[in-house]
């Protein structure tokens, strides 16, 4: 029973390895993305290993448990890896497609809102220029008279 648990844990580690390798290669590959996925993989692999050790033999470490984990990883890559990599890629492509559609819709509405606001604010453009001109003159006047203001 405990050997079977460690084999299943090894298969789980293999699955998470494939999952993180597929997500790492999806989109732009950056060193930050690789580092985060590596850290997450090793945390999950450690948790799976400790859970398997706890369930199978109350955290008593035996050689056959590590052999079972290695055998589980090997069997996963031999039997299931291609199928799960294919499924992971299809799922990521689907969610990427949905994200692109949602981004396009939101982007369209944001552009329309800005165009409406630009149309509404168009009459105030001259007033805006006049206010900016007054502020610049005030700043220039303060700069010229700064040495007199400092003396006070």
Q: What is the pLDDT of residues 22-31, one digit of tens each?
A: 888 777 778 8
Question: Residue ranges of the domains in the chain?
Answer: 2-151
Question: Residue 99: enclosing H or E segment and its boundaries?
Answer: helix 81-121
pLDDT cut 90: percent of the chain above it: 30
Rounded Cα distance between 15 and 25, Å, is 16
Q: For residues 108 and 73, give the distance between their C-alpha atoms in angstroms, rounded to a whole number.
A: 47
User: With 80 as the cut, is the pLDDT of residue 128 above it?
Assistant: no
Give the torsion through C-alpha atoms of 140, 142, 143, 144, to 10 deg.
90
pTM for this model (two decimals) = 0.65
Rounded Cα gap, residues 25 and 17, in angstroms:
12
In which element (H, E) is residue 75 found?
helix 63-75
Provide the token pair at 70.
Answer: 């290695």
Confidence of residue 92 (pLDDT cuts 50, 70, 90): confident
Give the model's confidence band at 152: pLDDT under 50 very low, under 70 low, under 90 confident, else very high.
Answer: very low
Instruction: Give the model's pLDDT for residue 12.
Output: 92
Using CA atoms, how far apart are residues 12 and 19, in angstroms rounded to an integer? 10
Q: Which tokens go with 89?
A: 């890629």
């Amino acid at each position: 029973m405990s050997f079977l648990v460690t084999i299943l844990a090894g298969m789980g580690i293999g699955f998470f390895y494939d999952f993180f390798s597929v997500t790492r290669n999806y989109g732009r590959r950056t060193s930050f993305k690789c580092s985060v996925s590596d850290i997450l993989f090793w945390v999950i692999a450690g948790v799976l290993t400790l859970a398997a050790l706890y369930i199978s033999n109350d955290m008593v470490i035996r050689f056959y448990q590590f052999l079972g984990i290695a055998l589980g990883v090997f069997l996963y890559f031999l039997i299931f890896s291609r199928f799960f990599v294919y499924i992971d890629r299809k799922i990521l492509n689907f969610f990427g497609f949905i994200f692109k559609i949602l981004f396009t819709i939101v982007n369209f509405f944001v552009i329309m809102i800005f165009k409406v606001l630009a149309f509404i604010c168009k009459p105030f453009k001259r007033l805006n220029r006049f206010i900016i001109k007054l502020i610049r003159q005030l700043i220039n006047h303060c700069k010229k008279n700064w040495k007199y203001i400092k003396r006070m």
